Structure 1
Amino acid sequence: MLKELKLIVENIEESLRLDLYISKELNDISRSYVQKLIKSGNVRVNNEIIYSKKYKISEEDEIDIEIPEPEKLKLEPENIPIEIIYEDKDLLVVNKPQGMVVHPAPGHYSGTLVNALLYHSKSLSSINGIIRPGIVHRIDKDTSGLLMIAKNNKAHNSLAAQLKEHSINRVYYALVNGNIKVGSGTIDAPIGRHPVNRLKRAVVEKNSKKAVTHFKVIESYSGYTLVELKLETGRTHQIRVHMSYLGYPLVGDPLYGIKKKKFNLKGQMLHAKVLGFIHPTTLKYMEFNSELPEYFKALLKKMQRRK
């Protein structure tokens, strides 16, 4: 069913681009999707179809927007190799490689961890819907490391509750730019959407959530530091945002890092190394440890030679 929305432009001091105004007014719709709607002829200004995202709107303009019903997504199992660290009737622990998206999203409907899980397992929890079966938590596409997957709803509820209580042990290793001058510390800084760039998160006071990261220096190199980071909370991009905020952005981070590319990396040097939790059925504590990927270890060897 087609969804129709009407906006009347009010209280603007200067003319704004059409796509910018709509995305600000409808903050649950991304600017890129707004631009797609405009290009498809789904936006009218004063009853005239506008095809240019750069069209400048004025005070009292009437904007009509037609939002088509989303296409029904059918997820296909795919025979993609995945490294399973542990599996029983309730859950799996997998070691996700860098470059793999966790679950389908616009632009990534295949080749994801979920596609691989659907092929591997006949049973996955349904709590997070058809797009994210079994997914209790996630890590970024270019972050590697350990993830727990729920095979039934009972296990999912138990693991999700532990996440909410901050009782799951999640330890990451990261290589950051700069030399951290203290041996350890805690970053307690709230994270919300970046005020300008919708792709980014930032340390902000307004519309933010509490975010806490504990860090410890493992080794220092010439201009770089290997850091162990323990998450107390789990906000989107938390480690990447916090380390950038502290002045030590992750090496290879395309969003929060230094623009000048070095070492020919495919993404940020961040690995989810340790994952510990209470098993939903046995109620025993389980902990898993993942080795750093080969590309990560190879770069650390380079750093060693530079010392």
Structure 2
Amino acid sequence: MKSTRYQFEVKSDDMVRIDKYLSECLPDISRAKIKRLIEAGFVTLDGVTVEKAGLKAKPGDQLDILLMLEQDSGLVPERLPLDIIFENDQIIVVNKPSGMVVHPGAGNHTGTLVNALLAHFPPIRDVGAVDRPGIVHRLDKETSGVMVFAKTEKAYRWLVKQFKSQDVYKSYLALVDGHPPTPTGRIEAPIARDSRTRTRMVVGVQGQGKPAVSEYHLLREFNRHTLLEVHPITGRTHQIRVHLSYLGVPVVGDTLYGRRRPSISLGRIFLHAKTLQLRLPGERNLRNFEAPVPDALQSVLLELQEQEERL
């Protein structure tokens, strides 16, 4: 991504707001975008990074601004239903439905969560990566549950740092085929891309793959299935699905890593991101966000329970 740096000496008779002054110097750039650039740390006042758009500069001060020349991502806003759990001026937390792709890609150019977010909050287009605006983590297409998106560049950097340092707590509900070897466990197995099938991940061997760690504990045991709560400590692609399959208890409905013929007719995989705990920008205490278990998954658990009672 190309960038251009502009320098301006404040020429006024009095103190001026930095965002207002820069928007006057750069008439093709909206004041809202100037504000986002300030929050992202792309503006300096006499060599010192400006953190607040409302900060004032005096006559003779030197203002520097770095403009990122973004390419057109081609992303199209779409008025699609959004199940919003929480929203403020920094982030938006949603309950992603199963079957919905997070962002456009090969074979999925529309109908994604990003398309819906662009219609709900257009300025998110300028946050984060050009083709993946606002995204700080992802869920697989068939996985439902809680996701957080950044609405500003400052929030984006704040959240990315938390995910990278593994300071975010995530818990998933997974119904698996069979029974794990122990009621609780920790899986430490590196994950790499399958050299034969590029859409598939595998547990790496002989030093291959990236480190991956998942913890689980048993919630309910059925005759042929087990309900687990899984806590992924790292965030590798398909991590939970790969790790549980490696353990010998693949997720129900996961035809990529488990049975080709699902043991339960569900039309999706039984994996739900239930809980997400993190710190909001500028806050010290953890916030907890939770997505209710979808009715389709609740119905499966109820049916398994009734089967157990009839035995």
TM-score (norm 1): 0.74
SS at the partner of 2:227?
strand
**How many Å separate the matches in 2 of 1:257 and 1:99?**
18
**How many Å separate the matches in 1 of 2:166 and 2:194?**
24
**Are the counterparts in 2 of residues 93 and 146 from structure 1 also a CA contact under 8 Å?**
yes
Shift of 1:108: 0.3
SS at the partner of 1:304?
helix
**Are the counterparts in 2 of residues 128 and 135 from structure 1 also a CA contact under 8 Å?**
yes
Change in CA separation of 1:125 and 1:184 when aligned onto 2, cut-off 3 Å: farther
Deviation sequence 1:222-257 (CA, Å, 0-9, x none):
110000000110000000000000000000012101
Unaligned runs of 5+ in 1: 1-70
**How many Å separate the matches in 2 of 1:224 and 1:110?**
36
Q: Residue in 2 aligned with 1:303? A: 304
Larger deviation: 111-120 or 280-289? 280-289
**Are the counterparts in 2 of residues 125 and 150 from structure 1 also a CA contact under 8 Å?**
no
Q: Residue in 2 aligned with 1:159? A: 159
Number of aligned residues? 237
**How many Å separate the matches in 1 of 2:118 and 2:231?**
30
Q: Residue in 2 aligned with 1:238? A: 239
Q: Residue in 1 aligned with 2:210? A: 209
Amino-acid identity (%): 41
Deviation sequence 1:277-299 (CA, Å, 0-9, x none):
01112333111112110000000
Deviation sequence 1:69-98 (CA, Å, 0-9, x none):
xx9751111010010000000001100000
Unaligned runs of 5+ in 2: 1-70
Q: Residue in 2 aligned with 1:59? A: none
**How many Å separate the matches in 2 of 1:99 and 1:297?**
17
1:116 and 2:116 are equivalent in the alignment = yes
**How many Å separate the matches in 2 of 1:76 and 1:302?**
41
Larger deviation: 123-132 or 150-159? 123-132
Q: Residue in 1 aligned with 2:143? A: 143
Larger deviation: 144-153 or 205-214? 205-214
**Are the counterparts in 2 of residues 174 and 228 from structure 1 also a CA contact under 8 Å?**
yes
**Are the counterparts in 2 of residues 213 and 233 from structure 1 also a CA contact under 8 Å?**
yes
**Are the counterparts in 1 of residues 128 and 153 from structure 2 also a CA contact under 8 Å?**
no
Deviation sequence 1:178-203 (CA, Å, 0-9, x none):
02242101000000111322111010
Aligned pairs for 1:20-59 (under 5 A) are none
**How many Å separate the matches in 2 of 1:154 and 1:276?**
19
Q: Residue in 1 aligned with 2:105? A: 105
Q: Residue in 2 aligned with 1:174? A: 174
**How many Å separate the matches in 2 of 1:126 and 1:203?**
36
Q: Residue in 2 aligned with 1:222? A: 223
**Are the counterparts in 2 of residues 254 and 267 from structure 1 also a CA contact under 8 Å?**
no
**How many Å separate the matches in 1 of 2:131 and 2:172?**
26
Q: Residue in 1 aligned with 2:132? A: 132
**How many Å separate the matches in 1 of 2:209 and 2:179?**
29
Deviation sequence 1:33-84 (CA, Å, 0-9, x none):
xxxxxxxxxxxxxxxxxxxxxxxxxxxxxxxxxxxxxx97511110100100
**How many Å separate the matches in 2 of 1:207 and 1:82?**
39
**How many Å separate the matches in 1 of 2:151 and 2:303?**
41
State the one-letter code of the partner of 2:269: Q
**How many Å separate the matches in 2 of 1:278 and 1:223?**
39
Q: Residue in 2 aligned with 1:31? A: none
Q: Residue in 2 aligned with 1:92? A: 92
State the one-letter code of the partner of 1:253: D
Q: Residue in 2 aligned with 1:66? A: none
Shift of 1:127: 5.0
**Are the counterparts in 2 of residues 125 and 153 from structure 1 also a CA contact under 8 Å?**
no
**Are the counterparts in 1 of residues 177 and 263 from structure 2 also a CA contact under 8 Å?**
no
Q: Residue in 1 aligned with 2:44? A: none
- What is the aligned-residue RMSD (CA, Å)? 1.5
Shift of 1:145: 0.2
